[in-house]
Amino acid sequence: MKKIVSLLLLFTFGLSSCEKDDICDGNTPTTPRLVITFYNISDPSVVKNVTNLKVVGIGGGDPNGIIFNAKGTDTSKYLANGSTISIPLKTDGTTTAYSFIFNAINTNPAAVNTDVLTFNYTTQNIYVSRACGFKTNFTLNPSDNSNTAGIIRTDPANDGQWMQSIDILTPNIQTENETHVKIYF
């Protein structure tokens, strides 16, 4: 009888040590990307599509740029054609810089225009779960209360800035469900 009770206890303890697989559910919120929507400068309430926009990280990352269309060809997968893009920010720093190349594949060099945006922010690491680990939320330069807090715009080629104005709608970047930054051109 003692052997049967011991065997049952051992079996019960063995079952109680089982736990769910450590797989991060695809619907679990992870580190959000910065969502940018483009608007018409002459009518700021109208969303405007960018044409052949290429976004290339400065100081690391893929020198070809951010992949916007994974199914595209070698060149077209790096091009955004639409009114909204999402770009990642560095989780291990407080600044991220990108070259925004408007009309990037035009054969006329005068039609191509590059502006550089540098995003300044603070980070907050948040524990999600054992399977998913941590995610990072961002806050664009909280010490400055202007509409462009945390974003520095430069024109490295001195060809005129194609981005005419920038507004930050949501300085706290916690999800990708909303526009964080408006760019007018």
% pLDDT > 70, the chain: 84
pLDDT at residue number 5: 53
Residue 177's pLDDT band, with cuts at 50, 70 and 90, is very high
Alpha-carbon span 116 to 18, nearest angstrom: 52
pLDDT at residue number 150: 81
pLDDT at residue number 29: 87
Alpha-carbon span 115 to 161, nearest angstrom: 6
Asked if residue 19 has pLDDT above 60, the reply is no
Residue 65's pLDDT band, with cuts at 50, 70 and 90, is very high
Q: What share of the chain is helix, strand, coil (3-state, %, to 5)?
A: 10, 40, 50
Alpha-carbon span 103 to 32, nearest angstrom: 27
> pLDDT tens digit string along 97-154?
999 999 999 999 889 999 999 999 999 999 999 889 999 999 998 555 555 668 898 9
125-133 contacts at long range (C-beta below 8 A, 24 or more positions apart): 125/91, 128/24, 128/28, 128/29, 128/30, 129/24, 129/28, 130/22, 131/21, 131/22, 131/23, 131/24, 131/25, 132/24, 132/25, 132/28, 132/30, 133/24
- Integer angstrom CA distances of residue 3 from 6, 7, 14, 33, 40: 5, 6, 16, 59, 80
